[in-house]
Amino acid sequence: MDFAIPDHLAEFRETVRRFTESELIPHEDYVEEHDGLPEEVERRIRERAVAIGLNAMGMPEEVGGAGLDVLGQVLVTEELFRALGGVAEAVPSAPGVLLACDEEQRERFLVPCVRGDLQWCFALTEPDTGSDAAGIRTRAELADGTWTINGRKRFISHGDSADFAIVFALTHPDREQDRITAFLVEKGTPGFSVGQLHKTMGHRGYRQAELVFDDCAVPEGNVLGEPGRGFAIARGGLSSGRIMTAARCLGPMARLIDDGLEWAKQRVQFGRPIADYQAIQFMLADCATDLHAARLMTYNAAWAADRGEAPKTVHAKASAAKLFASEALGRVADRVLQIFGGTGYMNETYVERAYRNARIERIWEGTSEIQRIIIARGLLKRGMFS
């Protein structure tokens, strides 16, 4: 058993850490206050990220990505998300589903995303269907070479700012399977508009939007992959999406522990640093244990994916890592806030912001309950994954 991080990844991780400290963290106060970054800052982050090969890190090199394996992506994600999500999200990315692009779509959509020239959003969730994503009601019908989409999407991250949306719609309702198709719908397409924008508990700097499709006409050339295979395309990225969500939880946990340690050592009450009190030490010890366990699970799930372990095993490990890391982050944020006392409740502290941001990790990319269902189903069918 070898737990060593390969040298080249350890070096790259250091580069990303420096990037996070110099290019991302300094903009956190601005994002919290203004709910977004100035355009020139976003552009600079994009340019710097591209310059050090941080853009679209999981994408193959032939489309301009960094071609990192899953473990490499986990290490980079962990470091990037030491910064608040609203700033870290400015680093260009391209979702794995775009690998289903045909040649022409690659040039129009995938490559510009990889370069940071186009922004995308992923539009699956609807007002009536969240966890039960296969039950979507947005419909698309084909006539004379044009698909017409009608329906609504909800809670779509970056939905208001994206240049195009990857939209999932019901196209073959009579089939048992292969009922859903994925479409690439560009901003400005007649019949496609942004509806309600939500104010959220955390993650200042990027918004969730409602997307409205009202007789929205999309050419056949904008179908992503085969008609009817949209859900299969979306499911293809589930494991890596969950592993990356787990990785997003590791960065904040590590930074919270650093902050908690520093605060406990310098805050004096009853004549002694509070770090001298066992009540505080126990909270710190529990935080460290949570982070260590979450790291091991996340790295192991990534390593299993890279080794090509059976997809169902990777799936179970990814769900377990996402479940554990997201819940561990909640516990760590709560304890560190307690260590900070009243100061931790103040918006100018990282701990207050991290506490609010942490809550969503248990909801998106499949709620904790859905992860438990997946893990339990696998256990009942195949026994414990190793």
Ligand X SMILES: Cc1cc2nc3c(=O)[nH]c(=O)nc-3n(C[C@H](O)[C@H](O)[C@H](O)COP(=O)(O)OP(=O)(O)OC[C@H]3O[C@@H](n4cnc5c(N)ncnc54)[C@H](O)[C@@H]3O)c2cc1C
**Contact positions vs ligand X (CB under 6 A):** 121-125, 130-131, 155-157, 200, 208, 360, 363-364, 367, 369-370, 373
Which residue's Cβ lies closest to ligand X?
130
> Under a CB-based contact definition with an 8 Å cutoff, are residues 284 and 205 in contact?
no
Helix (H, G, I), strand (E, B) or coil at 291: helix
Structure tokens at 249: 């939880």
Q: Which is nearer to ligand X, 53 or 378 (CB)?
A: 378
Q: Which is nearer to ligand X, 156 or 287 (CB)?
A: 156
* Alpha-carbon distances, residue 45 vs 6, 13, 65, 247 (angstroms): 27, 17, 17, 21
Q: Which is nearer to ligand X, 293 or 373 (CB)?
A: 373
Minimum distance of ligand X from residue 369's CB (angstroms): 3
> Under a CB-based contact definition with an 8 Å cutoff, are residues 356 and 201 in contact?
yes
Catalytic residue among 39, 262, 365, 369: 365
Structure tokens at 234: 């979306």
Active-site residue, 365 included: yes
Between CA 284 and CA 159 the distance in angstroms is: 38
Q: Which is nearer to ligand X, 48 or 179 (CB)?
A: 179
Minimum distance of ligand X from residue 305's CB (angstroms): 21
Q: Which is nearer to ligand X, 32 or 309 (CB)?
A: 32
- Distance, C-alpha 209 to centroid of its chain: 16
Q: Which is nearer to ligand X, 20 or 371 (CB)?
A: 371
| 3-state DSSP helix/strand/coil % of the chain, to nearest 5 | 55, 15, 30
* Alpha-carbon distances, residue 320 vs 238, 268, 324 (angstroms): 13, 39, 6
Between CA 333 and CA 35 the distance in angstroms is: 22
> What are the backbone dihedrals phi and psi of residue 155, each rounded to the nearest 5 degrees, phi first?
60, 40
Minimum distance of ligand X from residue 168's CB (angstroms): 8
* Alpha-carbon distances, residue 7 vs 57, 72, 76 (angstroms): 18, 11, 14
Strand partners, 272: 269
Strand partners, 122: 166
Q: Which of 194, 78, 185 has the alpha carbon at shortest distance from 122?
A: 185
Minimum distance of ligand X from residue 329's CB (angstroms): 15
Strand partners, 159: none
Q: Which is nearer to ligand X, 244 or 283 (CB)?
A: 244
Q: Which residues contact 31 (CB under 8 A, 6 or more apart)?
A: 37, 84, 86, 87, 204, 205
Residue entry with tokens 């990220």: 49
* Enzyme catalytic residues: 365
